[in-house]
Amino acid sequence: MKIAFLGLHSAFDFQYIGGVESFVRRLAMQLAQSGDTIDYILMGADDTKTECLGRIRLRYFADFQATLSALLDGYDHVVAIYLPPVERLRYCLFRLRNRSRTRFHVILFGLPDSLLKRVLTLIDSRLFFDRVLVISPRVFRTVQRCSLKPVLLLPPVPEDYFLTPQEKVRKGKTKITFVGRIDIGKGIAGVIDLFLRLKGRDDIETLIYGYYS
């Protein structure tokens, strides 16, 4: 099959570091190893260019119309990762016009905190997508309540990752760990503030495993 992953290049470029990037990269590589042809359709780039990594191609586009035109290149499946809000309506209309030739899917990595944005995300997910894929049981339950029939696609982490605090076995100190990008936009300031408040607690150990991009 010929499969395209679609989204803003700064959100999931194959060559970037991050949780979304890692998840999509693992999925793309597994599909490529199974014999599928995989393209990254990346919008918002500085230049229009193509890079080949074996069975995986990275196709960069600066213009959204050119990005949409690229999706007409005979793809069996197009999987949306992230698009700016202003472009989602155009993409919705594109799915409506072309749903007979291509199957469209979306991966939800989470839901916005804002109630309005969350409702709009769920409404968009109902319109002309064949499958809505989610990566956590919590998002799965929320989307399921909206009758979207989601598919749970768990990341490669231990099942303990999904236990609630009440379900976890207490052994000695409670360890609270932040893993991710050391960036204000990713919440590190709030993490540092919380950890400083907890540093006097003998029953709590705090850790930060981070990187800076």
What's residue 59's pLDDT? 97
Q: What are phi and psi of 190, to 5 degrees?
A: -65, -35
Q: Which two tokens stand for residue 11?
A: 């959100």
pLDDT over 90 (residue 57):
yes
| Residues facing residue 16 across a β-bridge | none
What's residue 213's pLDDT? 66
Q: Which two tokens stand for residue 7?
A: 């989204």
pTM: 0.77
Q: Which two tokens stand for residue 97?
A: 């016009």
pLDDT over 80 (residue 176):
yes
User: How far apart, in Å, do the first and last CA atoms of the chain sit?
Assistant: 34
**Residue 183: exposed, middle, or buried by beta-carbon count in 10 A (0-12, 13-18, 19+)?**
middle
Instruction: Give the largest Cα separation in the chain, rounded.
Output: 61
pLDDT over 90 (residue 55):
no
What's residue 185's pLDDT? 76
Residues 6+ apart with CB under 8 A from 71: 4, 6, 41, 78, 94, 98, 102
Could you tell me if 212 and 15 are in contact, meaning their C-beta atoms sit under 8 angstroms apart?
A: no
Q: pLDDT digit string (tens) for 18-47?
A: 889 999 999 999 999 999 999 999 999 988
pLDDT over 70 (residue 143):
yes
What's residue 38's pLDDT? 96
Q: What are phi and psi of 177, to 5 degrees?
A: -125, 135
Could you tell me if 135 and 107 are in contact, meaning their C-beta atoms sit under 8 angstroms apart?
A: yes
pLDDT over 90 (residue 71):
yes
